[in-house]
Structures are given as structure tokens and as C-alpha cells.
Amino acid sequence: MLTIGYIGNGKSTNRYHLPFSLNRDHLNVKTIYARNLDKTEWDRIPDVNYTDDVSTLMNDEDIQLVVVCTHTESHYSYAKMALDHGKHVLVEKPFMLTQAEAISIFQYAKEKNLVIQCYQNRRYDSDFLTTKKVIESGKLGDLLEVEMHYDYYRPEIPNNTSHFSKYNSYLYGHGVHTIDQVLSYFGKPDTIHSDVRQLLGEGRMNDYFDLDFYYSTLKVSVKSSFFRLKPRPSFVVYGKKGMFVKQTEDRQEEHLKLFYLPKGHADFGVDLPQHYGVLTYLDDEGVYHEEKVVSEIGDYARVYDDIYQAIVHGKDKVIKDEETIIAMGILEQGIAACK
């Protein structure tokens, strides 16, 4: 059993963590720390201790893993505090403010012989897992181009934001999802081209990004905007013998927003036939095929499975330090064009 304490009691903890950590028998959620316990946005979890004294969490010898789900500005200080108290740490995206902070905290954890890791749950998105399955089938032939889109139509957000914030930018908050997917599967690129914009002008929020990752003859593009009335396909993959289009994104977030949770619901996050991607290719005899691909099942709890194995059984971390460090550098480089 791995006993967990959370720092933060907002949307991150309650929507993207607790539904998954509470759905694993080998995990025990003991304590949630929040500065303001009077907020009633989220129902309290039965048998969980809620406290506004962070030392209660830090000094509890039962708690082995601290999960940091606060604003990015406080990630480093809370992570270091937890390490100083002998706790392993899981930190929400984008992990730290800078690449230098990421390098520093990884080194500090290593000196303490403790595990610290970024919560890259989007590695376990259904659409991403399905796209990997199609690529690995070999039916596309040599891979030429991959397009990954993460679109919204929420103009009220940039329209109602009157200032620019580097660390609360669209690139830091959302680009980190797809950047990590690229790095986890394709590795470190040879070169990157970044087009990161403020569509409403200088001094306004970053609301658009278009990153191209180059690997020899392969190009992987990550694109996103707040002003897409109709979203582009989640994934489009081109090879020398065919293509794959996955129009719809992973459905876990859709279900979470409806409070339809994984515990007790076998169909949580599961695609229906209308969500399946379409694979079109020519086989070795030149025969044309067009077929739907049954989607893989996504499960964000697998991040907790990974860190459980690392802490309890000493397994290598699935989410590597170097991948997180490279991602932080890409974020810093990309946002530098905005003012």
C-alpha cells in the first residue's frame, strides 16, 4: 500500500487525480491540504483528512507520496519541502517554472534517494495510445508526418484576459501535454521550429501555438488554438503506404466533467464506434483498404501505477527526468517570443 497526501484541493486534485488514485486498491489517500478549507466547490472524500496546516501532512510518517496540485509558481517550494521531509513527490504539469528548476529538483531528489516525477497523464490518452498502435502495425509504411491537434473554441478566455503571463500561458498549460507525447514516443528531435502567438496582440494572453519537431525525414507537428470553432482531427498520421485519422480526442476528460467517474463504470472514457479512427492504406499487393480502428482504452491511473512501481518496487520511472527537462526547455524557448 502506498499512502498519499495532496497539496491543493482544487480542480486539479479533484478532477484529474482523485478519481484515479481512489480507483486503485494499492493506493491509500490519507490527507488533503488546502489553504482555505471553507471552499465547498468539491465534495469532501469520506475517510480523508482535510487540513489547512501543511505540517500535518509533511510530518505524517504514514504518508510516503506527496502530490503537488497547486499553481506552477509554488511547485518548486512545495516539492522541496516534501523532499526535505523524506517524501516522494508527484508534481502536476508543467512541473516547474523553468528548465533550471527542473534540473535542480531532480538532482535534489537524487541526493535524497527519493522519487520525484511529473504527472504526464496524457501519455495514457486513448487517441494517443491508438495512434501508436496503428504506427506500430506497420500498415502505414515508413512514417513521414504526424499532426497532433489540441483545439478549443473558447474565445471568452483570451478576450477576458488583459495581460500576458509566461507561466500561465496556453503553451505552458496545454502545450506541455502534446509536447510530452511527442518526446515520450519519438524522443528528442533534431531541431524544433516554434510559432507561438498572441492572436489578440502584444500584452494579451498566449492563445495559439504551432510547434514542428524534425527527426531526419519525419516531421511531427503540435498545433493548438483557442479560436477553432470546429476542431481539427486529434491525430493525422501519414506514411508512404497510407494514413490514419483520429478525429475525436480521449473521452476521459469529457466523462470527468460530467462526474461520471472511473470507479464502478467499466465504460468510463471508452470510445464508441462513432469515435473510432479511420486507417487507409495499400497492402503489399497494392490492394486498397479503408477500415475503422477500435480505440485503445485510456487510463490516467496508469501514472499512479508507474510511480507506485518506482517507489515500492524500485522500478525505473516510466516518465524519465530527461524527457521532463527537455519539455521544460521547449516551453521556455517557445514562449520567449511573447511579450
CATH topology of domain 2-119: Rossmann fold (3.40.50)
Q: Does domain 122-298+330-335 have CATH number 3.40.50.10860?
A: no
- At 40 the pLDDT is 75
Compute the average pLDDT of residues 168-174: 93
* Per-residue pLDDT band at 160 (split at 50, 70, 90): very high
Contacts of 142 (CB under 8 A, 6+ apart): 217, 239, 240, 241
Asked if 277 and 235 count as a contact pair (C-beta separation under 8 A), the reply is yes
pLDDT tens by residue, 22-81? 999 999 999 999 998 887 789 999 999 999 999 999 999 999 999 999 999 999 999 999
Q: Give the ranges where the chain is alpha helix by DSSP (H).
A: 11-16, 18-21, 54-58, 75-84, 99-112, 126-137, 156-159, 170, 176-186, 252-257, 301-312, 321-335
What residues does CATH 3.30.360.10 cover in the chain?
A: 122-298+330-335
Q: Which three cell numbers stand for residue 100?
A: 533550471
138 pLDDT tier (thresholds 50, 70, 90): very high
Residues of CATH 3.40.50.720 domain(s) within the chain?
2-119
Give the pLDDT confidence score for residue 19 in this predicted structure: 97
